[in-house]
Amino acid sequence: MKLYYFPGACSTASMISLIEAGQKFDLAEVDRNTKQASDGKDFNQVNPKGYVPALVLDSGEMLSENVAILAYIAGLDQSGKLGPAPGSEGCYHLLEWLAYINSEIHKNFSPLFRPTTDDATRAVFKENLAKRLSYIEQKLGNNPYLMGQNFTVADAYLYVTLSWRDHVGVDISAFPKLLAFYERVRARPSVAEAYRLQGM
């Protein structure tokens, strides 16, 4: 398998998950501006959508979209550690979390990175995030992770989106459980390893 990534981007969640799953994988860094990948390929040819993550499977097939890639990695982990077994009821709850993080968290962060987003528009996305994060704060309850006691690919994804907060001025100090969740995930060796692999 080969994962195409931008350092620190959402692709970090796939990297953390592959490490957690004990999978062997290669990496190719993509230049955001030129879309040239470090393996010499034009990334637009690898993933015509032009964005990361893209995971090239051992079959040669390319898989894109965080939700699909993270669900795939969870399914690779035979111990079921990174998510409930494919087809089980729990697996659909994992997809529920992945979809929520993708459309309600990640995609409310994305416009905050664009220098062209004006202050009034920024305020709207930050308000959306406050609502969506407050739901997670309640759902976490006394559980260490989103799905309960076990770390899953959804935790890796949520963690990566939260890691962007200081850069774009999103304050989560009103959410103590979320902050504790962030620190808990940050302490996992897979997270340090993923940043090391990205030269961060």
Ligand X SMILES: N[C@@H](CCC(=O)N[C@@H](CS)C(=O)NCC(=O)O)C(=O)O
Considering only 3, 9, 158, 178, the residue that binds ligand X (CB under 6 A) is 9
Going from the C-alpha of 48 to that of each of 24, 53, 120, the distances in angstroms are: 25, 12, 33
Closest approach of Cβ 44 to ligand X, in Å?
11
Angle between helices 66-76 and 11-20 (to 10 degrees): 0
Q: Which is nearer to ligand X, 113 or 135 (CB)?
A: 113
Among 22, 31, 32, 124, binds ligand X (CB under 6 A): 32
In the complex, minimum distance from the CB of residue 176 to ligand X, in angstroms, rounded to a whole number? 27
Binds ligand X by CB under 6 A, chosen from 14, 66, 152, 190: 66
Nearer to ligand X, 66 or 152 (CB): 66
CB of 38 to ligand X, least distance (A): 15
Q: Judged by CB under 6 A, which stretch of 17-25, 50-58, 70-78, 119-127 contacts ligand X?
A: 50-58
Q: How far apart are CA 126 and CA 3, in angstroms?
A: 30
Tell which residue, 35, 38, 36, has the closest CA to residue 26. Answer: 38
10 interacts with ligand X by CB under 6 A: yes
DSSP string, 106-163: IHHHGGGG-TT--HHHHHHHHHHHHHHHHHHHHHHTT-SBTTBSS--HHHHHHHHHHT
Interface residue with ligand X, options 3, 21, 52, 162 (CB under 6 A): 52
Give least dist CB 139 to ligand X, A.
Answer: 21
Q: How many CB atoms lie within 10 A of CB 140?
A: 18
**Closest CB 149 distance from ligand X, rounded Å:** 27
Site string for ligand X, 75-104 (x = CB under 6 A): ---------------------------x--
Task: Give the relative orientation of helices 176-186 and 153-162 as an angle to the nearest 10 degrees.
Answer: 110
Residue 161 lies near ligand X (rule: CB under 6 A):
no
| Measured distance CA(200)–CA(33) in Å, rounded | 19
Q: How far is the CB of 5 from ligand X (least distance, A)?
A: 9
Q: Residue 134: CB partners within 8 Å, gap ≥ 6?
A: 174, 175
- Separation CA 142–CA 132 (nearest Å): 18
Q: Residues interacting with ligand X, by CB under 6 A?
A: 6, 9-10, 32, 51-53, 65-66, 102, 110
